[in-house]
Each structure stands twice: as structure tokens, then as C-alpha cells.
A and B are shown apart, each in its own frame.
Chain A
Amino acid sequence: MRTITYAQGIKEALEEEMRRDPTVVLYGEDVANFGGIFRITSGLQEEFGAERVFDTPISENAFVGAAVGAAITGLRPVVELQFADFLFTTADEIVLKAGMWRYVHGGAFKVPMVVRCPSGAAGVGPEHGQCPEAFFMHSPGLRIVSPATPADAKGLLKSAIRDDNPVLYFEHKLLYATKGEIPDDEDYLVPLGKAAIRREGDALTLVAISAMVPKAMKVAERLAQEGHNIEVIDPRSLNPFDRPAIIESVKKTGKIVVAEESYKTLGVGAEIGAMLMEEVLEYLDRPLRRVAMPDVPIPTAAALEKFVIPNEEKIYQACRELLS
């Protein structure tokens, strides 16, 4: 076991996959010379050359569209958006082209591409701080992952690059510096569509996504001291979604809280709630509780941002309410 940071996990995944497969290319705004706005890609152009690692003009729509073309014609492009929020600029290419073309053209080709999307509120305001996963979960054909640990950051990115479908890879800005252990496995992969049970328990199911996972673990410890042994599930992949993992857990506990940084309305928690209604209503012993971003633009002012972001206390209170 080594200990690495989340940012390191992403970089190692890029390096290893580029060494392994010459069709993997990397580009985006400032990824080459500057090494990426979050310094994830520094040094990659030196190793792999300007043909495989290069900068693009400030036009997300154009370079994501180019990635769709590159993927269709045989490359495995990884493009970096500086902020996940810019997905909306590229929505035509992502939603209508990347997500749909393989299907629309009767499977005549594959679309193996990854869009790296740094997400999450970090003092950067409403246009640079969202977690927009749920917007794209709604759209067919896209795979969506939101790793929460350094090991998953690496293993899921490697799997994403090897996947033959377009993957939106959400990396939370506040997780870059977090540390965690990773197996010494030379080729460490985490499969898409498989949730991780971060902590086993039977009193309540707490589903936490991305940066909510470390917060959820702290809540679980606090509740354990109060005599409630809760289960924490990190879905990791939002599409494909590991429904059985959550269903089995809820069958056991009968109570569920979903913590996410997406907006509450039609967020990931809404989908999980609807799924449970459809499939395991008779196992629910309490109403679903969602801890999510309220439906307002994320404030730039630090105090206000802190006020809206789901935090440990809010997650704890939601759990307490169901455990009473």
C-alpha cells in the first residue's frame, strides 16, 4: 500500500494509460505548458510530446466537439474542462453528439472519450463551483463517475479511459489534496457501475457522493458513539448506477439519507428516492431524507457559501431525525 493524494491518483492514471495505449491523447486549456489550472498535468507534455498533450483555444464547445470526432475515428481523447460548469457550454457536443451518436448511427462506431470536470464549491461562485452530475445523468448514453478517494480517482479514470463510451469524470476540487491508500497493484482498475460500501451498518443507509463521502464517514463515527451503527455507501459511478447495492442496504436498514452537492430538486437523491419507491417500497420504514444544495446559485461570499453547502451537521441532523 502506498499513500497518495487524489490529484496524484488522477495524474498517475493519465500517465499509465498514455504509456499503455498510444491512442490516448490529452488536451484542453493550459493543460500542456502550464500543467493544468490545478497542476494535475504538469510534466505530461515533456514525456508524451506536443502531439499527444497540447493546449487549446478558449472554446470548450470546439475542443469537446473535436474529441467526439477524434474518438469516432480511433483515438481515445481525454479533455480537461477547467471547471465542470463549462459542460453547459459544450452541452450540444456532450449531450447530442457524444452521448447519442453511437446509438443514432446503429453502433457503426464507438465514442471512447473522457471529459475531466473539476467540480464543487470552493469559493469560486455560482459559475465555477457546481456539481452538475445530475443534469447529465438525465441524458442517455453518457457514463458518469464521481470518485471520492485517491484510489478511486485513479482506478476509475483508468477504467474510464478504457471504456468505449463517453465518460464524464467529475473530480471534486476540494478532494485534490486529500490522501489515501492505494493498492500496489501495477494496473489498479475500479470498474464503472460498482458502488463502494465505505462502512457497514444496519441502522440507516447513508449514501454520500464525491466530497460528501469524508463528511459522511465523520457523521457515521459520531453516530456510532451514540450507539447507531450506520452504513455508508459511495456510489462512485452515477451512470451506470449500482442500484442493487443501495436496494440491498435499504432492505437491511429501512432508512436512507442521501448527501450530495447537486441541487436538491431532481438531484441524484431524487432519482434514488424514485427508484426505492418503485422497487422496495415495502422495505422503507421512514421517509427518504435528502441533504443537498438548496435550489439557489452558489454564493461567492464565503460565509454564504458555507451556509448553503451540505455539511456534516446537516447530514448528522438528517440521520438523527430518522433514527429517533
Chain B
Amino acid sequence: MSFLIQMPKLGHTMTEGTVLKWHKRAGDNVREGEAVLTVETDKAEIEIESPAAGVLARVLADEGVVVGVGLPLGEIVREGETASDLTASVVEAPAKTASSNSGAAVSSPQKAASAAGAKRVIASPRAKRIAAERGIDLSSVAGSGPDGMITEDDVRKIGEKKIAEQPTAQMPASTPGFATEGLAPSRREKLTRIQMVGARNVTSSWKEIPHFVQMVRIDMKRALEARQSINAAGSRVSVTDVILSATVLALKENPRINASYSDGERLIYDQINLGIAVDTPDGLVVPVIHDAGALDIKGISARAAELAERARNKRLRPADIENATFTVSNLGAYGIENGTPVIFAPQSALMFVGAIHDEVLAIEGRAEVRPAMQIAIAYDHRGLDGANASRFTTRVKALLEAPDFLGAVANTKTAAPERHREVRIEAVGESLKTEVRYGGLRWPLSAEDASAPDPVSSFLGALGSCLLMSLRVAARARKMQVGRTSVQARSNEKGHVKEIQVELQVETAIDDEQLHRLVEVAERGCHIRALIRDEVAFSLQVARI
């Protein structure tokens, strides 16, 4: 069983990406989920993780090479196995020689086939699969099967011949400058891959989408107050989070804005995937808060912070930048008051957020100094007209000027976005190698010898530590003095766990009744205790040190 690593498709417009760096070399062992290489796409640098544990059998595209979406980059095989024969000849094709600067960029085989014209290609599913892996254009293959169907053998024959000349990738030709005798550039800066593809995308968006822009000025006094009252309750939401929340709500009420225009149709999405433009040292990237409609302001805030952090550390995953349905670009931090943004195709609209300044506004006939802000929303005029766009624009304004939708949030606690703890255990022969991971932290519990705790002991350890932590939290909340604490957890030795006995030892001056109540609370609060089934006899004894 082998796994091909392919160039991912990270958006409707992406047709190719660049191999930036291989973190592994052919022959290296890889773990499942371990970063194998970094590719650069039109939007970001993305680490591609191994789909399985095994060995990187082959590298099929060298660093710096541009590869079409869906084409293979490398192959992972399980240990002890060899690379698949489906792509056997690809390995012989040196990717290096193909990375020259000549010619046009490679596109995916599907695209090549459709470009070839109206000729319908009849090929077996297997033949299509192999052709796609090898980047072979099926329209150029003669079929020998029933009714002229292209079979596996037909593709293999072509493959053997063509693969050597098939350009795995090329850098786009450099565009000629307008340098003349009189005006020579002092130096040339090559755009990064992200910038280059970005340049191409804005060009096509600008050329193809008839833009119109609506601008409004918004009195932000109450929005800022609402933010303060939320944060007074212990949260840390930003002004941007408030603006994003209002935007999401307005999008829910105006679903046609959360849409794409395509060939005489509006493709309307119920799910709101909010792209947020983030500035990084390498340029603008646009991570996406998926299903933002399902999040409240705290959820949006947490997710936005997480994505911005990932973006700045170049840790964005492919899923983090896919499928935005609407984008917010906030240049307020740079003091920009207003602008006329360019939509990211195929989205229908993009909102530009300006800086908040004190301004003199006319409030009920009087001149008042208020924190004010301008937004500019660009719309695709093919799918939207000025009237339905205005309903959205003015709704965003109205929500921010009367942010009652945030009122309830200030006093309620909301669940943080779900994160999972992870424990990784490998069995090598008789031994268990255990590693606990949480966020960026890792604790190996044993070396690769036979000294790892068995599963039940691990569980008892988790139970004991959870009870202790729960006890300390409960004591702190009740302002009870607790000194040393220790716990002993024990179960029957063999077979299914039938009984668990726990003894807690606590150094404290509180009286017996208080101590027992404290332990009761601790037991109730212990997440691991809650996992134990009713059939298991559980006893919890308390003693003083």
C-alpha cells in the first residue's frame, strides 16, 4: 500500500504550486501527520503532511519546481514495502531537468484534455487514474479497448514514451520590463511565488469582475462600548472581532452576498466562510474562519487569533485557506480611511475596513465628537445590483451603530473552539512507547524499552492526577488551605477492570466535614472519573497526612 503525495487544490483558481522545501529526503522515515514538504500556492506556504507512517520512497518534484494541481510530488510506502508500479516510470523521469525556465506552465491533465477540444475521451477509470498520476493528456492516446476505450496498457505505452519529455514544471517566463536606454531599473526584485500568483489573480478579478463599491461612515461609539463590556467580563475580543461578528450576522440576513456568480447563476452558500486578510512579513495571506455563522463573537475571536498566529508563523494548513465565501480586509491599523478594494474571485464581495478616528458627527442636530470609521464594500455587479448590495452595506452599519446583538454575549461564557488532547503510542515488539502531546508540548513517558506503563496503569495515572488537580482547583475556589496532596490508585491486576480503589492523602487543617465535601466536589469535577462505567466498583478513601 503506498500513498502518493499530490499537489493540493486550495481554491477554485489554483492550478499549480511550487515545491519550496522538502523536509525529508528519499529513504527517510516519516510519521503520520509529519510535515514532509512545504509548497507555495497562490495564497500561502503550506506544509504537506504525510498521510501515513512509512518511508518517503521517492521524491518526484525537486525544490523550486512548479507542479500542476493533482500531480504527484512524492510517494510514501509502508515500511518494508516498495514503491507502487503504477508510477514506476515516473521515478525514472528526472524532475530536475524539467524545471527549466522555458515554455508555459503545466496545467492539470483534466484541463489539458478539455482544452483539446470537443473530442470525447472514452477511457477506463483505471486508465484515467494512471494518466492523471503521470500527467498524460488522454486526448492524445489511442484506445485499443472495446469501442475504442483507452485502457491501462494504452496509457502505459504512451507513458513510457512521454514521461521523459513531460515537463513536471516550469517557472513562468519573466515579463519584460520597459527598461530603455534612458530609464534603467536600479535593481530587480523577483516576486515570491505567492505574490506572483496573487498578481495574476487580481489581474483576472479586475478584468473579469465589473466592480462597484459602496462606502459608508459608521459611528463606532456603541460598538466600542459593547466591546469594552464584553472584555470587562474577562474576554479579549478586538474591535475587528466586533466588526467580523456584525458582518457575519449581516451576511446571514443577506445570503445573496455570500455567493459566487457563475455563468448566469448566483451560487449561494448557506455556510459563511469568512476570509480575513492578514499581513505577514511575506505579504498578505487570507486564512478562513469556516462556518463563521455557527460561532459567536468569542468563537470568532478565538479562531481569528489562532489563524493570524498560524499565518505569521507560516503554519497555515491547506484547510485553513480554502473555500472563503466572503473576505474582510482591515487596513485600519495603517491609518487608511477608505479605499476601493478588488474582489477575490470567485467571491461576490469584499469588505474593506478603514481606521477609526475621532470625527465630528451630527448627532440629533448637534455636533458631537465620535469615534467613526468608514467601510468600503466592493461587489460583483454581474450577480448583484446596487439595491440588494445596499441592504447589506447599511445592515452592517446599523448593526455596528446599535450592537444589541452583542449584548447577550457580554454575560455568557461560551465554549472555546474544540481542541483535542493527543496521546501517541507506538508498539515496538513487546514494548509501548508513549508520548503525550498538548499544543506544542510533548512528554515522552518512556523510552523504547519495555518500561512503558501498560494501558490500565496509564489510565490510573490519569485518574490520580486528574483527581489531585480537581481537588486543588476546588480548594482554591473555596479558599481552603491545602498543603501536600498525594493519591494512590489501584485496580485488579488481570483482565477487565472490575474495581478501582483510590486513596487521597491531604495535608490540611480544615475539619472532616469540610474535607469530605471538598473531596466530593473534586470527584464530581474530575473529567477522568466521569469516564468510569457504573459496573466498575469505584471507591475513594480520604486520609490526612
Residues of B within 8 A of A284 (CB): 124-126
Q: Is B209 an interface residue (CB 8 A)?
A: no
A286 & B128 in contact (Cβ 8 Å cutoff): no
Give B386 Cβ to nearest chain A Cβ, in Å. 48
Residues of A within 8 A of B168 (CB): none
Give B167 Cβ to nearest chain A Cβ, in Å. 25
- Taking CB atoms and an 8 Å cut-off, the chain A residues in 211-244 that contact chain B are none
Give A159 Cβ to nearest chain B Cβ, in Å. 25
Q: Is A313 an interface residue (CB 8 A)?
A: no
How would residues 296 to 332 of chain B score, 1 for a CB under 8 Å from any chain A CB and 0 otherwise? 0000000000000000000000000000000000000
Residues of A within 8 A of B124 (CB): 254, 284-286
How would residues 125 to 138 of chain B score, 1 for a CB under 8 Å from any chain A CB and 0 otherwise? 11111000000000
Residues of B within 8 A of A281 (CB): 125
Query: Measured between alpha carbons, how far is A254 from B152 in the docked complex, in Å?
Result: 8
Residues of A within 8 A of B127 (CB): 285
How would residues 101 to 135 of chain B score, 1 for a CB under 8 Å from any chain A CB and 0 otherwise? 00000000000000000000000111111000000
Query: Measured between alpha carbons, how far is A283 from B126 in the docked complex, in Å?
Result: 4
A282 & B151 in contact (Cβ 8 Å cutoff): no
Residues of B within 8 A of A254 (CB): 124, 126, 152
Residues of A within 8 A of B125 (CB): 281-285
- Taking CB atoms and an 8 Å cut-off, the chain A residues in 270-309 that contact chain B are 281-286
Residues of B within 8 A of A283 (CB): 125-126, 129
How would residues 479 to 506 of chain B score, 1 for a CB under 8 Å from any chain A CB and 0 otherwise? 0000000000000000000000000000
Q: Is B145 an interface residue (CB 8 A)?
A: yes
Give B35 Cβ to nearest chain A Cβ, in Å. 28
In the complex, the chain B residue whose C-beta lies closest to that of A321 is B146
A286 & B151 in contact (Cβ 8 Å cutoff): yes
User: How many interface residues does chain A have, given as a range?
Assistant: under 10
Residues of A within 8 A of B151 (CB): 285-286
- Taking CB atoms and an 8 Å cut-off, the chain A residues in 175-226 that contact chain B are none
A285 & B128 in contact (Cβ 8 Å cutoff): no
Most chain B CB inside 10 Å of its own CB: which residue of A254, A282, A285? A285
Query: Measured between alpha carbons, how far is A254 from B125 in the docked complex, in Å?
Result: 9
Give B413 Cβ to nearest chain A Cβ, in Å. 40
B128 & A282 in contact (Cβ 8 Å cutoff): yes
Query: Measured between alpha carbons, how far is A236 from B152 in the docked complex, in Å?
Result: 30
B129 & A282 in contact (Cβ 8 Å cutoff): yes
Give A125 Cβ to nearest chain B Cβ, in Å. 38
Residues of A within 8 A of B129 (CB): 282-283
Query: Measured between alpha carbons, how far is A285 from B145 in the docked complex, in Å?
Result: 9
Query: Measured between alpha carbons, how far is A284 from B145 in the docked complex, in Å?
Result: 13
Query: Measured between alpha carbons, how far is A282 from B126 in the docked complex, in Å?
Result: 5
How would residues 217 to 236 of chain B score, 1 for a CB under 8 Å from any chain A CB and 0 otherwise? 00000000000000000000
- Taking CB atoms and an 8 Å cut-off, the chain B residues in 145-160 that contact chain A are 145, 151-152
Query: Measured between alpha carbons, how far is A258 from B40 in the docked complex, in Å?
Result: 47
In the complex, the chain A residue whose C-beta lies closest to that of B84 is A251
Query: Measured between alpha carbons, how far is A272 from B336 in the docked complex, in Å?
Result: 64
Residues of A within 8 A of B152 (CB): 254, 285
Residues of B within 8 A of A286 (CB): 124, 145, 151
- Taking CB atoms and an 8 Å cut-off, the chain A residues in 145-201 that contact chain B are none
Query: Measured between alpha carbons, how far is A31 from B152 in the docked complex, in Å?
Result: 55
Give A126 Cβ to nearest chain B Cβ, in Å. 35
Give B87 Cβ to nearest chain A Cβ, in Å. 14
Query: Measured between alpha carbons, how far is A281 from B127 in the docked complex, in Å?
Result: 11
Residues of A within 8 A of B128 (CB): 282
In the complex, the chain B residue whose C-beta lies closest to that of A286 is B124
In the complex, the chain A residue whose C-beta lies closest to that of B155 is A285
Query: Measured between alpha carbons, how far is A173 from B128 in the docked complex, in Å?
Result: 45
Give B82 Cβ to nearest chain A Cβ, in Å. 14
Give A248 Cβ to nearest chain B Cβ, in Å. 9
Query: Measured between alpha carbons, how far is A281 from B125 in the docked complex, in Å?
Result: 6
Query: Measured between alpha carbons, how far is A286 from B152 in the docked complex, in Å?
Result: 9
Query: Measured between alpha carbons, how far is A284 from B127 in the docked complex, in Å?
Result: 8
In the complex, the chain A residue whose C-beta lies closest to that of B152 is A285
Give A256 Cβ to nearest chain B Cβ, in Å. 12
Residues of B within 8 A of A282 (CB): 125-126, 128-129
How would residues 259 to 270 of chain B score, 1 for a CB under 8 Å from any chain A CB and 0 otherwise? 000000000000
In the complex, the chain B residue whose C-beta lies closest to that of A250 is B126
Query: Measured between alpha carbons, how far is A284 from B151 in the docked complex, in Å?
Result: 10
In the complex, the chain A residue whose C-beta lies closest to that of B126 is A285
Query: Measured between alpha carbons, how far is A283 from B124 in the docked complex, in Å?
Result: 9
User: Can you give 23 A-B contacts (C-beta < 8 A)?
Assistant: A254-B124, A254-B126, A254-B152, A281-B125, A282-B125, A282-B126, A282-B128, A282-B129, A283-B125, A283-B126, A283-B129, A284-B124, A284-B125, A284-B126, A285-B124, A285-B125, A285-B126, A285-B127, A285-B151, A285-B152, A286-B124, A286-B145, A286-B151
- A254-B124, A282-B128, A285-B125 are known; give 5 further A-B pairs, CB within 8 A: A254-B126, A284-B124, A286-B124, A286-B145, A286-B151
- 9 closest A-B pairs by CB: A285-B126, A282-B129, A285-B124, A285-B152, A282-B125, A254-B126, A281-B125, A284-B125, A283-B126
Question: Residues of B with Cβ closer than 8 Å to A?
Answer: 124-129, 145, 151-152
Question: Residues of A with Cβ closer than 8 Å to B?
Answer: 254, 281-286
